[in-house]
Amino acid sequence: MTNRLVVRGGHVFDPVGGTAAPADVLIEGDRIIDVGIDLDADTAVDATDHLVVPGFIDTHVHVMLDDVDTMRLIQTPFSLRFFQAARNLQLTLRAGITTVRDAAGADLGVKQAVTTGLVDGPDMQIAIGMLSQTGGHADEWLPSGECVHALWPPHPGRPPTVVDGVDEMRRAVRELVRAGADVLKVATTGGVISPRSDPRRAQLCDEELAVLMSEARAAHVHVMAHAQGAQGVKNAIRAGVRSIEHGVYLDDEAVDMMVQNRTWLVPTLSAPHAILRQSETSGGIPENMRQKAIAAIEAHEASVRLAHSAGVPIAMGTDAGISRHGENLRELELMHRLGISAVDTLRAAMTSAADLLDIASDVGELAPGKLANMVLLAGSEVSVEGLPERVRTVIRRGVKVR
């Protein structure tokens, strides 16, 4: 018979109702079997004076990246990145993140290392790579004329993803699905960290996006779109993507389209701030990248405010790998400072994130039948201020994290 574990004496947060109340959480195996008062079990975790919340979900990470310092990356042995990923996964889990969507970089082997228990980390969905056109956000061509694969080196587990035309798009999508992608990622605009792309410029034509979506539907996977400029956002929404990643330069029309199509926004507010911090200490951040990050911050914040006020569904994503692994919950503080309530901010990393990833039957709230993923936070107040420092205990699938 499986031993039962009870998390006893805490205030359990309900993201659906937005309230917290005294309760115990009873766990058997990797599932919650009851939430109530005076529950008993073989072993207990004392949660007195703690807020017990569902395990956090980060819907946009890059566990194979530590930063975007090109000079450091091109001098890093290829295989070392997998060992760094193991550390990054552990840091992420210890921070209270029990589920992630890796938005390019991690391959099927990295995911299986977590699934089989070889490496400690959160449950994973993986995109493997990012589809983009020549000169797009995944094209690492440099002004020198060289193409140095510093961020996204292709290898047998990560097929190349720079595509032009419908035939190349179709083949690349099928190769990503064959390689184990749970979700497809496409860049419909340029980005801050790509050497020669403009975040405001739309990329990929309607026909290319239509083939992508047709293949995605056939494979029963969703599509996430790196999209910063408003036109690229609109093109992605019309094509039928599930989420807009970043959404830096939204306008009223783009936001209206997101509301009408129930297209999710994953803001990743942490990313441009992280690039600016790195530019102050690293010689590997080129000036054009720094300038793009500076330009993005104010527009980014205004866009998130506009989207939230209009009712666009928002899920937490951090771009960890550009921002620091293990500091994921700082993203919730940034969201809260834009006027999003503490409860809605927490939902973005719980029920809303679970809905986006289509895993709400298993995670996102503490209820019977759900996976026993939870975090004990010091203090019983429902707040996101100082959230990373409040993390005391993390439980993933019924097991306390070491």
Would you give per-residue pLDDT tens digits along the chain (402 residues)?
578 999 999 999 999 999 999 999 999 999 999 999 999 999 999 999 999 999 999 999 999 999 888 888 889 999 999 999 999 999 999 999 999 999 999 999 999 999 999 999 999 999 999 999 999 999 988 788 877 888 888 899 999 999 999 999 999 999 999 999 999 999 999 998 887 888 999 999 999 999 999 999 999 999 999 999 999 999 999 999 999 999 999 999 999 999 999 999 999 999 988 888 887 877 667 788 888 888 889 999 999 999 999 999 999 999 999 999 999 999 999 999 999 999 999 999 999 999 999 999 999 999 999 999 999 999 999 999 999 999 999 999 999 997
The CB density around residue 385, as the number of other CB atoms within 10 Å, is 12
Q: Where are the domains of the chain?
A: 4-54+364-400, 56-328
Domain 56-328, what architecture?
A: Alpha-Beta Barrel (3.20)
Residue 346 is encoded by which pair of tokens? Answer: 């927490």
Q: Determine the CATH number of domain 4-54+364-400.
A: 2.30.40.10
Return the closest-CA partner of residue 357 out of 222, 173, 218, 216: 222
Instruction: For residue 145, give Cα distances in angstroms to 139, 163, 190.
Output: 12, 19, 19
Q: Decide: pTM greater than 0.75.
A: yes
Q: Which residues, 6+ apart, have CB-to-CB distance to 325 below 8 Å? A: 61, 63, 66, 87, 88, 91, 92, 95
Interior angle at CA 388, CA 264 and CA 68, nearest 5:
65
Residue 150 is encoded by which pair of tokens? Answer: 């510093």
